[in-house]
Amino acid sequence: MPRSMKHIKESIIVFFIFAGSLWIGLSHFREKKKMKDIQISSSILAECLNWERKVESMGIDPSGAIARISSIKVIKTEEYAGVYDRSGSRIEISSRVFDKGEYSVRSTIYHELGHAVFKLEHGDCGIMNDRILSEEYLKDNWDNLVTEYLKKCYEKRLESI
């Protein structure tokens, strides 16, 4: 092999070693937060903590992305069930979702956290549907919906760094 080709290969290897080391170093020093460290409306705190436990049970550390969220609040609005506002780094859950039932609230929280933490898109799985599924459907299928959702989160786990 000509000397210049060998030099190019060595340079590429050195570059990837350097880039990998830099990635690991930056990941190590990122700000880490837990759900308990951000402002969360008391009516949804338990469900947010439950979400965090479920995600961590998949071997995912969401703390880097959680650090980017300033608050998760329940607000009065008729405009949407929930929204992740990237510019303000906040999640808002409409108080009207509570009228639909506990599974609708839970689904909306998981949905918005999916956007904020893992950059999930509408249609990625049942919970990421662009409309809230019926309370009855959510209740009857919750375990399967969460399993599917957590698999999607695991696929996108690097988004949480």
Taking the domains of the chain in order of start, what are their residue ranges? 1-30, 35-160
Question: In the structure encoding, which two tokens stand for residue 63, read together?
Answer: 């703390």
What pTM, to 2 d.p., does this model score?
0.80
Tokens 């299928």 belong to residue: 141
Q: In what order do the strands lie in the sheet with 71-75?
A: 39-40, 71-75, 90-94, 82-85
- Please tell me the CATH code under which domain 35-160 is placed: 3.30.2010
Residue 27's pLDDT is: 47
Q: pLDDT digit of tens for each residue in the chain (161 aa)?
A: 556 777 777 777 767 676 555 555 444 445 678 999 999 999 999 999 999 999 999 999 999 899 989 999 999 999 999 999 988 899 999 999 999 999 999 999 999 999 999 999 999 999 999 998 999 999 999 999 999 999 999 999 988 77
